[in-house]
Amino acid sequence: MSYFESRLRVDFEDLDSVYRVLKFCEKLNISNLVLEPLNNSKYFREEIFHEIRENTNINLFFRFNLKPRTVKEFKKEIKFYQKVPHILSLETQVKEIQIQAAKDSRVHVLSFSDPINMKTATPGLISLAKQNDTYIEFSLAPIMRKNRALQSKNFRILYRFIQLILRMKPNFIISGDFDIPYELRHPRNLSSVCHTLLGIPLDQAKNAFSKNVELLLSKIKSRRKNKLIQPGVRLIKGDKKI
């Protein structure tokens, strides 16, 4: 079984720091990793991603995370990022944007990594995401805080959120989403934490770090492949690009 760390935020403008983090991940035997730019610059070139891939033994994938403040801002950003051949996630507390994103096939993941956002999740929203095959994401970083009071509060919020997810049964992935490299853990160990500490059935916990991520990446690759007839050429519909 191939395990994934589905969210590791790095600074692509400082490649030396990226390579240091990757070396650390190699020592942890993390073999599949999804990197996210700290600042979602619209000017990152694909060449940067290729260069990083060539300098590590880890299987690398990439994602962009949108944090729009208004529906108008969401529509503007999604129009740009729909051209990006990587995981596209969205994180917001605004219900109108959440609903819009859950219905938009260009958004692959609704992320609830922040406990504040978890509190806004409703059965209706999760049902809509499930209906449209949009993945749900949550992270373990909030319950690993050194501040015991905050850790306890985040645990209660996460536990309630997980009960909602288990009841509604959408596709979901789990990420570590740790800010500091030394907090990183192998996803296989994190799946055990999810099972013993959070009550997620072991097979579902393992799938959230492995099979579900593979299916998500496969879906994105398939959609992009169906729009290309050869490298650099897109199918068009009428006078508009699909």
pLDDT in tens, 194-234: 999 999 999 999 999 999 999 999 999 987 765 543 444 44
Q: How confident is the model at residue 242, as a pLDDT?
A: 38
pLDDT in tens, 5-62: 999 999 988 999 999 999 999 999 999 999 999 876 655 678 888 999 999 999 999 9
pLDDT in tens, 125-154: 999 999 999 999 999 999 998 889 999 999
Q: Residue 40 falls within a domain, yes or no? A: no
Distance of alpha carbon 70 from alpha carbon 82, whole angstroms: 18
Structural domains of the chain, count: 1
Is 180 or 173 the better-scoring residue by pLDDT? 173
pLDDT in tens, 165-179: 999 999 999 999 998
Q: How confident is the model at residue 233, as a pLDDT?
A: 45
Domain of 168, CATH number, reads: 3.20.20.140
Q: Residue 17 falls within a domain, yes or no? A: no
| Length of the chain (residues) | 242
Q: Residue 46 falls within a domain, yes or no? A: no
Going by the DSSP 8-state scheme, the letter that residue 32 receives in this structure is E
Residue 29 dihedral angles phi and psi, to the nearest 5°: 65, 30
Q: Residue 6 falls within a domain, yes or no? A: no
Enclosing domain of residue 217? 63-226
Q: What is the pTM of this model?
A: 0.90
Report residue 82 as tokens: 């729909």
Q: Residue 14 falls within a domain, yes or no? A: no
